[in-house]
Amino acid sequence: MIMPQLLLLHGAIGSKDQLKDLENILSSSYKVHSINFKGHGGSAFTADPFSIRSFAEEVITFLRSSNIDQINIFGYSMGGYVAMYLAKHYPGKINKVITLATKFSWNRAIAEKEIKMLNAEKIEGKIPSFAAALKERHLPQNWKLVLEKTIDLLTAMGENNPLQAEDYLTIHQPVLLMLGDRDKMVTLEETLAVYKGLPNAQLSIIPNTSHPVEVANTARLAFEISSFLDPANPVPATYLPQA
């Protein structure tokens, strides 16, 4: 039996290792892949700036090198945005898309607000444990450079959002938008706006869940993902969260 293909995409300043537990659960039913975007998780930087387009092109390069004609994608936060961009610009390559905690609404004010949280010096001074985690996550690369390039990415998105409202009308693949009910970075309003604009979408609000993927109930996410991809064959009941 050939397993369906599934690609996991991490968020901004993140790495594929953050999705390892999710991969372990889903690998019983799917051929699961994950990648580090350039500069993330120890992967090398390139001369190109960080951008949604360049990250999407990295995915296409991975699919071609892996001889994968079409794939399902789960994307957390920025990874979900990249997945949606791929569905728009490479529709033949993308089967179904699942996003979690993805911020779709971008303008200058929003970008400036998010950028304030990426100041390396302030992170070192106020949240040294987070600074240490970022340093470890991106070794041997410089975590501060990851932040700098991410600031440039968000600035560019604030100036020109890569996906406009009319773009979602042209995305016909099945899409599941997931949002934690306690997410303070992504609003329900912006998620609903995208949901209403997509021709073939579902919406799932995950209870007792804030933005960081580390605090999400991984078993619940795996169940939501697998139920969407194949409703008749969700992940084994042993993985379901306890009541």
Q: What is the pLDDT of residue 242?
A: 47
Q: What is the DSSP letter of 116?
A: G
Given a contact cutoff of 8 angstroms between Cβ atoms, the answer to whether 123 and 143 are in contact is no
- In a structure prediction context, what are the per-residue pLDDT tens digits for the chain, which is 243 residues long? 678 999 999 999 999 999 999 999 999 899 999 999 999 999 999 989 999 999 999 999 999 999 999 999 999 999 999 999 999 999 999 999 999 999 999 999 999 999 999 999 999 999 999 999 999 999 999 999 999 999 999 999 999 999 999 999 999 999 999 999 999 999 999 999 999 999 999 999 999 999 999 999 999 999 999 999 998 878 765 655 544
Quote the CA–CA distance of 194 and 203 in Å, as a whole number.
Answer: 10
Instruction: Report which of 79, 66, 64 is spatially closest to residue 33, judged by C-alpha positions.
Output: 66
Quote the CA–CA distance of 220 and 25 in Å, as a whole number.
Answer: 11
Q: What domains, with CATH codes, occur in the chain?
A: 5-104+163-239 (3.40.50.1820)
Phi, psi of 86 (to 5 degrees): -65, -40
> Could you give the 3-state DSSP secondary structure of residue 142?
coil
Q: What is the pLDDT of residue 232?
A: 81
pTM comes to 0.95
Quote the CA–CA distance of 235 and 240 in Å, as a whole number.
Answer: 8
- Those residues whose C-beta lies under 8 Å from the C-beta of residue 45, and which sit 6 or more positions away, are 38, 39, 141, 145, 149
- Secondary structure string (H, E, C) spanning 173-200: CCEEEEEECCCCCCCHHHHHHHHHHCCC
Question: b/e map of 61-87 (b: 16 or more CB within 10 Å)?
Answer: eebeeeeeeebbbbbbbbbbbbbbbbb
Biggest CA pair distance of the chain: 53
Helices 143-159 and 128-138, packing angle to 10 deg: 100
- State which amino acid sits at residue 197: G
Give, for 64, the enclosing helix (H) or strand (E).
helix 52-65
Instruction: Report which of 192, 241, 189 is spatially closest to residue 220, judged by C-alpha positions.
Output: 241
Q: What is the pLDDT of residue 239?
A: 55
Quote the CA–CA distance of 190 and 85 in Å, as a whole number.
Answer: 16
Q: What is the pLDDT of residue 240?
A: 54
Quote the CA–CA distance of 199 and 175 in Å, as a whole number.
Answer: 9
